[in-house]
Amino acid sequence: MLDQVLEFFDIKADYDLNLMKPNQALVDISSDVLKGITTIIQQDFTPDYVVVQGDTTTAMAGALAAFYSKVQVIHIEAGLRSEDKYSPFPEEMNRVLIGRMTDLHFAPTENSKQNLIREGVHPASVFNVGNTVIDALLLGLSTIKKSESGTFSDYFNFLDKSKRLILVTGHRRENFGEPFENICYALKQIVDTHDDVEIVYPVHLNPNVQEPVQRILKDDPRIHLIEPLGYPYLIWLLDLCYLVITDSGGIQEEAPALGKPVLVMRDVTERQEGVEAGTAKLVGTNTQVIVQEATKLLNDQDHYHSMAKAVNPYGDGTTSQQVISELVLSYS
């Protein structure tokens, strides 16, 4: 899943830990990353600083490896908090743990910055710079528009351009089981009650996602269950769609940058700024709530435009340059 992103942005990795194994547990990937990064830090490459981005288990283990090696940690996308250690799981605790090991914190919003300061982080080490996800999104779309025009429309030739498209992404561990079934029933009901709507759902490879999604949704002709998309194909689809229904994190920031309303299938979100700005709405995993809010966006144009035109609070595409400038000042 990562290789295609590196290829798209023409990034060549110097080290590959070959971490992916079928249906592996969190303890497996945590220990493998910790050992792999420690070996690189202590034997192959001796850095002054280690930069980790986001809230993944790999980011947490990478920060821990740096801490054990007494190397300073720089955290990009710092300070996000849901205040519920099990939602999202394990990302919320990954963020908290990374924050305790970090020397320089680059927060995406003022709320994130204040979260860290309330936790005792010195204000001078926290910078509000926006989120690099917006930089990547805008750079990616610019690259796509320079490519052959038919590449992406040919790939998605099964879409009916006369219908409004809903992009769905869902893979959160806390939604495994009955919550995923509820989500699937909601998607089916939305399509059944709106003849002018179709859904594209790139289905995560995890068996806990695949089983309920395939069982409940595979036979509906206007719900397209496809393999996970490469990054350029995902953002092309994001740019094309009418609205987004997701339990993902980053897409809560990407979609508003393109004027797409987001329904978030979680009870809490660490990206509360989007909810407060009106670009996103929490709908949980209750079937009727998801259907109700999607129907409102599909049927009420004023409501749709109020979400689509809300100001995106996650940055303007200059985050990377701001990070570089601060690093130069801090370590010069």
171 annotated active-site: yes
Catalytic residue among 32, 77, 92, 253, which? 77
Q: Quick check: 149 pLDDT over 70? A: no
pLDDT tens per residue, range 322-332: 999 999 998 87
Catalytic residue among 32, 75, 81, 91, which? 91
Residue ranges, CATH 3.40.50.2000, the chain: 3-131+316-331, 149-308
* Averaged pLDDT, 19-27: 88
Spell out the residues 6+ positions from residue 272 whose beta carbon is closer than 8 angstroms to its own. Answer: 111
Q: Quick check: 221 pLDDT over 70? A: yes
Q: Quick check: 164 pLDDT over 80? A: yes
CATH fold group of domain 3-131+316-331: Rossmann fold (3.40.50)
Backbone CA torsion sign across 209, 210, 216, 218: positive
Closest CA relative to residue 202, chosen from 229, 183, 182:
229
- Give CA angle at 316 (313, 317), nearest 5°: 130
Tokens for 300?
């009420």
What gap in Å lies between CA 209 and CA 192, rounded to an integer? 22
pLDDT tens per residue, range 59-112: 999 999 999 999 999 999 999 998 999 988 999 999 999 999 999 999 999 999
Q: Quick check: 310 pLDDT over 80? A: no
**Strand ranges of the sheet holding 49-53, from the earlier edge strand across to the other edge:** 49-53, 72-76, 104-107, 126-128
| Predicted local confidence at residue 316, as pLDDT | 86
Spell out the residues 6+ positions from residue 302 whose beta carbon is closer than 8 angstroms to its own. Answer: none
What gap in Å lies between CA 181 and CA 166, rounded to an integer? 18
H helices of 119-177, where? Answer: 132-145, 150-155
Catalytic residue among 55, 135, 239, 253, which? 55
Spell out the residues 6+ positions from residue 313 whose beta carbon is closer than 8 angstroms to its own. Answer: 109, 256, 273, 274, 276, 277, 279
Q: What is the CA radius of gyration of the chain?
A: 20
| Predicted local confidence at residue 148, as pLDDT | 67
77 annotated active-site: yes
What gap in Å lies between CA 309 and CA 261, rounded to an integer? 9
173 annotated active-site: yes
pLDDT tens per residue, range 252-306: 989 999 999 999 999 888 888 889 889 999 999 999 999 999 999 999 999 999 9
Catalytic residue among 75, 95, 171, 172, which? 171
Catalytic residue among 164, 173, 224, 303, which? 173
| % of the chain beyond a pLDDT of 90 | 73
* Averaged pLDDT, 173-200: 93
Does domain 149-308 bear CATH number 1.20.1740.10? Answer: no
* Averaged pLDDT, 169-186: 89
Q: Quick check: 186 pLDDT over 70? A: yes
pLDDT tens per residue, range 236-267: 999 999 999 999 888 898 999 999 999 999 98
